[in-house]
Amino acid sequence: MSDGYRLHVLTIYSIVTAQTPEPPNVEDAVDELSKLTSDDWITALVIMLIALAIAFALRTIIVKGLRRRSGALVAKLLGRLVIGIVLAIGMVYALLQVGVSIGPILGMLGLLGLAMALALQDVLSSLVAGTMLAFQRPFRDGDQIRTADFEGTVEDVTLRAVTMRTFDGVRVFIPNLTVWEEPIVNYTTLGTRRTALVVGVGYESDLDAVQELLVTSVASRDGVLADPAPEAFVKEFGDSSVNFLVLFWHGPHIAEEWRARDAVMRGIKRDFDAAGIEIPLPQRVMSFKDPESADDELLPGKGEPGHASDGHTGR
């Protein structure tokens, strides 16, 4: 536990104890609850049921009203918050109606909350991170994102974790704090995405004709958007080919990307074959020397004065 966090908790504890001259007596609270009659318990139960009904009704109204304007994540978060607040108010009202003093109980709950805050730091951090994600909305339900080494479709965001369905069909629960601290790549939020392909042609090819053919071929494929229009540029001189960079836009989802990529690559191959344009394979030039001449070069002093070249000792 960091010194700053410990100091913060001790400050809260000192404020609570300063406002409570006497520590909460647990025995007094239990004694008051034990004196309740069956009619009192029924009254308290009825009040809590009414509070529960009001809470869920308010939650439904809030979720429907805010879903379009603020997004599903904020709507669900506020709906859950309203349920908690209404139930807490209902519990306090029920205790007051049956004659139970809530001072000792609230004091005991306050100290219990401090103890839980010390023990559940990571959980509370995830709760805060979930609240920040809900209000800043870097993604919505149904968006396809990449974060914390996972890629998939967002299914839900709770106060503790982000639920994601990966492209392999696996459901992953990522703590909100991890998502908040990691970069978030949202594939679908802008509505379109661009894909780049590298296509190589032989050095003997007419580069202007190849560029025109690439743009025409890509633009005619299913899934490729007309605006922005596809583009092709000479990228580099490779070892065995002149490489073009082909750029085209398509829908934002991963499945749309792969369908468009497949259609584009198949179309380019067919159009190149029809135009007689070759996509060269990697080539290497290798030279071989005559074995006898290589052996001669390896012999020390071969051909030098004082050494015989025919096997006899020179004089």
Summarised one tens digit per residue, pLDDT across range 261-284 is 999 999 999 999 999 999 998 777
Confidence of residue 213 (pLDDT cuts 50, 70, 90): very high
Our CA angle for 103, 26, 118, nearest 5°, is 85
Which structure tokens are listed for 39? 């009619």
Per-residue pLDDT, 314 = 43
Which tokens sit at 211? 């560029």
pTM of the model: 0.62
For the chain, list the domains and their CATH numbers: 3-131 (1.10.287.1260), 140-186 (2.30.30.60), 193-275 (3.30.70.100)
Q: Are strands 231-237 and 171-175 parallel, antiparallel or unpaired?
A: unpaired
The H-assigned helical ranges of the chain are: 3-19, 26-34, 38-70, 72-97, 102-119, 121-136, 176-181, 207-219, 254-275, 291-298
Which two structure tokens, joined as six digits, stand for 61?
A: 């109204």
The pLDDT tens digits for 1-47 are 445 545 544 554 454 445 444 545 556 666 666 777 888 888 889 99
User: Does the N-terminal peptide bond of residue 228 adopt cis geometry, omega within 30 degrees of 0?
Assistant: yes
In this predicted structure, what is the pLDDT of residue 96?
A: 82
292 vs 142, higher pLDDT: 142
- Kindly list the distances between the CA atom of residue 260 and the CA atoms of 212, 287, 305, in Å, as whole numbers in the listed order: 19, 43, 73
pLDDT at 305 over 80: no
Q: What separation in angstroms does the CA of 68 have from each of 4, 56, 74, 119, 243?
A: 40, 19, 10, 38, 47
pLDDT at residue number 9: 47
pLDDT of residue 171: 96
3-state secondary structure of 247: strand
Query: In this predicted model, what pLDDT tens digit does every residue of 85-104 receive, in sequence order?
Result: 898 888 888 888 887 777 66
CB 152 within 8 A of CB 166: yes
Is it the case that residue 298 has pLDDT exceeding 70? Answer: no
